Amino acid sequence: MKLIWTIPIFTLDKLKKQVYTVFADSVTEELDYTNFKEKAQLVCVVYTMCGIVGVVGNTNATDILIQGLEKLEYRGYDSAGIFVLGGAENHLVKAVGRIAELSAKTAGVEGTTGIGHTRWATHGKPTEDNAHPHRSETERFVLVHNGVIENYLEIKEEYLAGHHFKGQTDTEIAVHLIGKFAEEEGLSVLEAFKKALHIIRGSYAFALIDSQDPEVIYVAKNKSPLLIGLGEGYNMVCSDAMAMIRETNQYMEIHDQELVIVKADSVEVQDYDGNSRERASYTAELDLSDIGKGTYPYYMLKEIDEQPTVMRKLIQAYTDEAGQVVVDPAIIQAVQDADRIYILAAGTSYHAGFASKKMLEELTDTPVELGISSEWGYGMPLLSKKPLFIFISQSGETADSR
């Protein structure tokens, strides 16, 4: 159970839809979707949870990466890996299974810069070959990726004839494409990355390293989460501030379709055409005790024990001083207007939806239907005339319910 829960609520009123992101203490991010098709597409895309970490310019790079990956374990994964450079030699280490298995293989892995990844397989089995980081044809470029590249087969066919692939992932195609542009066409790393980003379609958070240059990590994102963490004399990238909160509470957002050049002493944000973008940093207010396992052997035990505290926090967030329940009137109105409530969620969030179905039906007098978010778009039922959608996302990101 996370401190901040994101519960987007879609209200479909013929052509006008809205999404509310409900945090523990506020309702924000109201978005408008202008037509139903667009929304249906959003539902169709399967997003994955998993994680990226990276660090540039710190002699403890391996520790920072491994500890960061441990913090991302809650997101679910089947394999993991790191690439570390800037020491006596470059190291690529991968393992199927837990971070502990990966960590056990990192004795002697030293360097100043690196990237790490927890994978949730979407393309290819959870094997060591398919685990990230992936490398280009000549092994010069190294990439980690969260998300799904929709046109990877077209890219393979159109650009990568004669290339040899170690696994079946969409990610390997992306790093081969970048490598091709840099090595076969002679573009700079930045130009090659940009050219590839103009071609790649889908969801991604990328962290790219040129193994000949330990001074820089290139990142880009579209629909998958990624942040920059600002350290003292070094910088980091991560899917979630929790991964790096031990190192820093200063973060910088990256927006969709932005590319960031991360060095130890500078962070430069650009759009895909090379125009610079200003970005202020912000302070992440996270409590370290919320993210570690503490004295518990498993997160699940800790989370079970945390339930009363979390319930108290939620009740506090939704009641005023007199103990009266306070909910945004727009949400109440949306519920009153609906003739059917659809809860879409996956995994544990699906169970949470299931648990709330009966309660919601009793409270609202409206039938509630449940769907698995990753599957729903592929076989959408006939919708009622005034449906209300509740999307539940355990991670605090709406990724698995888009």
Site residues for ligand GLU per CB under 6 A: 48, 50, 119-124, 130, 145-148, 169-171
Please report how close the Cβ of residue 125 comes to ligand GLU at its closest, in angstroms: 9
- CB closer to ligand GLU, 119 vs 140: 119
Please report how close the Cβ of residue 52 comes to ligand GLU at its closest, in angstroms: 9
Peptide linkage before 329 cis (omega within 30 of 0) = no
- Which residue in 36, 3, 12 sits closest to 390, CA to CA? 12
List Cβ neighbours of 350 (8 Å cut-off, separation of 6 or more). Answer: 370, 372, 373, 392
- Which residue in 316, 399, 402, 390 sits closest to 359, CA to CA? 390
Tell me the two tokens of residue 97.
Answer: 């299974």
- Paired strand residues for 343: 370, 390
- Which residue in 85, 162, 171, 103 sits closest to 135, CA to CA? 171
> Are the CB atoms for 117 and 50 separated by under 8 Å?
yes
Separation CA 307–CA 296 (nearest Å):
15
Please report how close the Cβ of residue 392 comes to ligand GLU at its closest, in angstroms: 20
Please report how close the Cβ of residue 119 comes to ligand GLU at its closest, in angstroms: 4
Query: Cβ-closest residue to ligand GLU?
Result: 50
Please report how close the Cβ of residue 131 comes to ligand GLU at its closest, in angstroms: 8
Please report how close the Cβ of residue 216 comes to ligand GLU at its closest, in angstroms: 23
Please report how close the Cβ of residue 195 comes to ligand GLU at its closest, in angstroms: 21
Please report how close the Cβ of residue 377 comes to ligand GLU at its closest, in angstroms: 18
- CB closer to ligand GLU, 122 vs 364: 122
- CB closer to ligand GLU, 131 vs 390: 131
Please report how close the Cβ of residue 267 comes to ligand GLU at its closest, in angstroms: 23
- CB closer to ligand GLU, 130 vs 401: 130
The phi and psi torsions of 148 (rounded to 5 degrees) equal: -140, 125
- CB closer to ligand GLU, 30 vs 256: 256
- CB closer to ligand GLU, 8 vs 51: 51
- Which residue in 116, 10, 135, 7 sits closest to 66, CA to CA? 116
- CB closer to ligand GLU, 239 vs 248: 239
> Are the CB atoms for 253 and 282 separated by under 8 Å?
yes
- CB closer to ligand GLU, 102 vs 230: 102
Q: Percentage helix, strand, coil, to 5, in the chain?
A: 30, 30, 40
List Cβ neighbours of 399 (8 Å cut-off, separation of 6 or more). Answer: 47, 48, 49, 223, 224, 225, 393
Please report how close the Cβ of residue 174 comes to ligand GLU at its closest, in angstroms: 9
- CB closer to ligand GLU, 120 vs 296: 120
Amino acid at 15: L
The phi and psi torsions of 173 (rounded to 5 degrees) equal: -60, -45
Residue with tokens 């000549």: 138
Tell me the two tokens of residue 219.
Answer: 């990142």
- CB closer to ligand GLU, 46 vs 388: 46
Q: Fill in the DSSP letter of residue 133.
A: P
Q: How far is CA 272 from CA 195, 197, 227, in A?
A: 8, 7, 17
